[in-house]
Structure 1
């Protein structure tokens, strides 16, 4: 194995890595926006309200991501109404936007289920306290439930983000030169698959490491209130001496 080949192909692979990051974060952003109302609807007590998001989540969790990608990229363009649309056709004829739409719809289904579980895990006492303060249903959801659920769902969301990073390699099947697509293009020229894919794998591992550390930092910052300071454990506030032990002499 020639390590020099792996070093020589890094500049081209990094160009593909930039496209991979675009697909990951743009689709992840829109996925979260779509997942929030889906998760709220899934926790509704009305069967009709829960039915539509349940069907959506069941489809996108029950079918492979590759099939969904092909349905959007190859399937939607077959309809004449799509081809005649001045809004949809300029978007759906581009593989870049087809990949983002597919990834966003796919990850939204998983994030919605993560948020649904987190919403249902919010302690009922916190909701009752908000109601006792006069907060309405919408205010309670926006100020109490969703922020609390977001902290609870953060570790699982980090796993989903990493899975989407690896799933983004399927974008190469619709002619996009992401990290995997760029590696395949380079291999077609140098006929060095081991060295090239080794370099691509190291880049994927580096991105994953940065994501894990970043998510861990966010989780640490958002849970700072749960970590008691030594002074608080001793029973004294910040800057105050600890109270005397019971039975101590004056």
Structure 2
């Protein structure tokens, strides 16, 4: 089998356009997902079983069903209801781009909420008691103690979730979006060079995943830098300033 480099060189700009759409989907969905995940995680960590019930149902549905089915339900399913087609939501729900954003955001929110819930419950009890001793109310304690500590604890696992979302974004091509995978499939159907195009797409995915890993490694070092701090001790056991 001969390797056709000309196809890769010719269509690389279009593959990069698809990669840009992929990054756009991942970044927007990731930001919206985190915004949704934080209150859901706080509700899941509540001591009140009534407060925990609704977020549990949300998380159970989106973690228990395939992302592809969720995309199809939002994109194809919403069009089956006259109420939706006649509402102000229809200009958004008829567009595959926004349907993909909604599906990815809700899916990653469910997974991220469980990560943050576990991180919140992993915060040492002494830190919470210290905040209570200073007289902090719930909102101040959550903003200054709980969320920063939980984010630092959950950051390594959340980096894995972002990489999984990056790979899952290939499903956007099933609803006509020309992301990286969709663009590679479209070009391959014209050139009949699947090996070259999908290999090139795979390399681009690897480069994007590597950038995500480096970004989260940097963020992890920033948020958890206190764990690596070791004060200098002189021979008498007195900490040096």
Same fold (TM over 0.5): yes
TM-score tier, shorter chain, comes to over 0.9
Task: Show the counterpart of 2:232.
Answer: 232
Alignment of 1:45-124 (within 5 A): 45-85=47-87, 87-124=88-125
Whole-angstrom distance in 2 between the partners of 1:5 and 1:131: 64
Aligned length: 236
- Residue 3 of structure 1 deviates from its aligned partner by 2.9
Task: Show the counterpart of 2:196.
Answer: 195
Whole-angstrom distance in 2 between the partners of 1:99 and 1:51: 27
Whole-angstrom distance in 2 between the partners of 1:41 and 1:236: 42
TM value normalised by structure 2: 0.95
Q: Which runs of 5+ in 2 are unaligned?
A: none
Q: Which runs of 5+ in 1 are unaligned?
A: 239-250
TM value normalised by structure 1: 0.92
RMSD between superposed Cα atoms in Å? 1.1
Whole-angstrom distance in 2 between the partners of 1:233 and 1:196: 58
Whole-angstrom distance in 2 between the partners of 1:191 and 1:233: 67
Task: Show the counterpart of 1:174.
Answer: 175
Task: State the secondary structure of the residue aligned to 2:232.
Answer: helix
Which of these two proteins has the greater Rg computed from alpha carbons?
A: 1
Whole-angstrom distance in 1 between the partners of 2:183 and 2:233: 55
Contact 1:6 1:198 in 2 (8 A): no
* Cα distance per residue 1:115-157 (max 9 Å; x no partner): 0000000000000000000001221111101110000000000
Task: Show the counterpart of 1:138.
Answer: 139
Whole-angstrom distance in 2 between the partners of 1:141 and 1:119: 10
- Residue 236 of structure 1 deviates from its aligned partner by 4.1
- Residue 78 of structure 1 deviates from its aligned partner by 1.1
